């Protein structure tokens, strides 16, 4: 196994999270590439894990926490660590130690860059980005928000723990009495979230007279702090499941029901 840095030859794999074989991933558009082009000069780091034959099977990307989706200082934040586990495409690389090797490489790199620690987020449920896995690697839980666990590993005694930026209770959803309002909060770093964004936007285009699609760019930290959200989708204040993103057909059905209810309410008034 070898750990290699991002370069012009493997960059395309980073933009699709190693799923260059997936037609579904193509639905996510180029949002991650645009995010990368903005973030590459703000300290973003990307590393891959390759097997002995040189086939890339895992990746990790992390950045200074000041430019991340959480609050903190003098730390690095892991946006995602991912080992390809599908039979399709490049194959299953799990249970080979790639995840641990990538995490160790990122920690060593962050130390050399002068960070006082490194943070990550995980899910309390036993699937992707499992919080339990990070705990096994020596990470400590410092915050929890609706099943999303914030963890960290301090490198020095004076390191300060990070914290979640929480959703604001008084969000302006821009509701109109004669429209279905969609509020799409988009950061760009995660193709899964970008996929939901593109699906909802495409479905909304079928109702140009009944649906208002409002895009909220949360690339800058100021916007994240203002809304307390990074990637989220709301249809008339109701959140749409974004992990894993719902199918295009289901989104069509949700919008159809909302538009039907809208017409019914208008006819009564």
Instruction: Give me the CATH number covering residue 233.
Output: 3.40.30.10
192, part of any domain: yes
Residues 6+ apart with CB under 8 A from 58: 18, 48, 49, 81, 82, 83, 84, 93, 98, 99, 101, 102
Instruction: Provide the domain limits for residue 149.
Output: 2-164
260, part of any domain: yes
pLDDT at 100 over 90: yes
Give yes or no for a contact between 240 and 229, defined as CB atoms under 8 angstroms apart. Answer: no
Q: What pLDDT is attached to residue 219?
A: 94
Mean pLDDT of the 143-164 span: 96
Residues 205, 212: Cα–Cα separation, whole Å? 9
Residue 149 sits in the same domain as residue 240 = no
Mean pLDDT of the 122-126 span: 86
Mean pLDDT of the 171-197 span: 92
Residue 37 sits in the same domain as residue 158 = yes
Q: What pLDDT is attached to residue 209?
A: 96
Cα 209 to Cα 104, 177, 198, 220, 256: the distances in Å are 53, 13, 19, 31, 13
Residue 57 sits in the same domain as residue 120 = yes
Mean pLDDT of the 105-124 span: 97
Residue 36 sits in the same domain as residue 122 = yes
172, part of any domain: no
47, part of any domain: yes
Q: What pLDDT is attached to residue 17?
A: 96
Residue 74 sits in the same domain as residue 159 = yes
Q: What pLDDT is attached to residue 173?
A: 83
pLDDT at 172 over 90: no
Report the domain count for the chain: 2
Q: What percent of the chain has pLDDT over 90?
A: 90
Residue 52 sits in the same domain as residue 148 = yes
Per residue in 13-65, pLDDT tens?
A: 999 999 999 999 999 999 999 999 999 999 999 999 999 999 999 999 999 99
175, part of any domain: no
Q: What pLDDT is attached to residue 242?
A: 84
CATH number (domain holding residue 76) = 3.40.630.30
Residue 76 sits in the same domain as residue 145 = yes
Residue 46 sits in the same domain as residue 158 = yes
pLDDT at 127 over 80: no
pTM of the shown model: 0.94
Domain stop point among 164, 190, 216: 164
Q: What pLDDT is attached to residue 86?
A: 92
DSSP secondary-structure letter at 223? H
Residues 6+ apart with CB under 8 A from 109: 45, 47
Residue 129 sits in the same domain as residue 249 = no
Residues 250, 248: Cα–Cα separation, whole Å? 5
169, part of any domain: no
Residue 137 sits in the same domain as residue 256 = no
Domain stop point among 131, 164, 197: 164
Q: What percent of the chain has pLDDT over 70?
A: 100
Q: What pLDDT is attached to residue 268?
A: 80
Mean pLDDT of the 110-127 span: 93
Q: What pLDDT is attached to residue 244?
A: 85
pLDDT band at 128 (very low <50, low <70, confident <90, very high): confident
Residue 136 sits in the same domain as residue 233 = no
171, part of any domain: no
Residues 183, 125: Cα–Cα separation, whole Å? 27
Domain stop point among 135, 164, 193: 164
Q: What pLDDT is attached to residue 194?
A: 96
Give yes or no for a contact between 82 and 41, defined as CB atoms under 8 angstroms apart. Answer: no
170, part of any domain: no
Mean pLDDT of the chain: 95
Residue 8 sits in the same domain as residue 71 = yes
């Amino acid at each position: 196994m070898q750990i290699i840095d991002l370069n012009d030859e493997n960059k395309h794999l980073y933009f699709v999270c190693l799923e260059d074989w997936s037609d579904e991933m193509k639905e996510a558009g180029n949002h991650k590439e645009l995010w990368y082009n903005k973030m590459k000069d703000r300290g973003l780091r990307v590393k891959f894990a390759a097997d002995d034959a040189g086939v890339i099977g895992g990746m990790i990307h992390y950045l200074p926490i000041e430019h991340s989706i959480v609050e903190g200082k003098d730390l690095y934040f892991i946006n995602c660590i991912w080992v390809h586990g599908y039979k399709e495409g490049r194959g299953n690389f799990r249970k080979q130690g790639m995840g641990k090797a990538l995490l160790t490489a990122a920690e060593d790199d962050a130390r050399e860059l002068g960070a006082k620690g490194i943070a990550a987020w995980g899910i309390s449920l036993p699937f992707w980005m499992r919080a339990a896995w990070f705990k096994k690697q020596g990470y400590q839980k410092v915050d929890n928000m609706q099943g999303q666990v914030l963890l960290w590993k301090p490198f020095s005694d004076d390191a300060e723990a990070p914290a979640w930026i929480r959703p604001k209770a008084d969000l302006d959803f821009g509701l109109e009495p004669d429209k279905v309002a969609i509020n799409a909060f988009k950061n760009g770093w995660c193709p899964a979230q970008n996929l939901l964004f593109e699906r909802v936007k495409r479905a909304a285009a079928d109702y140009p007279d009944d649906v208002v699609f409002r895009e909220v760019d949360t690339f800058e930290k100021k916007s994240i702090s203002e809304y307390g959200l990074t990637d989220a989708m709301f249809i008339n204040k109701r959140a749409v499941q974004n992990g894993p993103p719902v199918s295009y057909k289901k989104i069509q059905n949700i919008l159809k029901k909302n538009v039907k209810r809208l017409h019914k309410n208008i006819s009564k008034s």
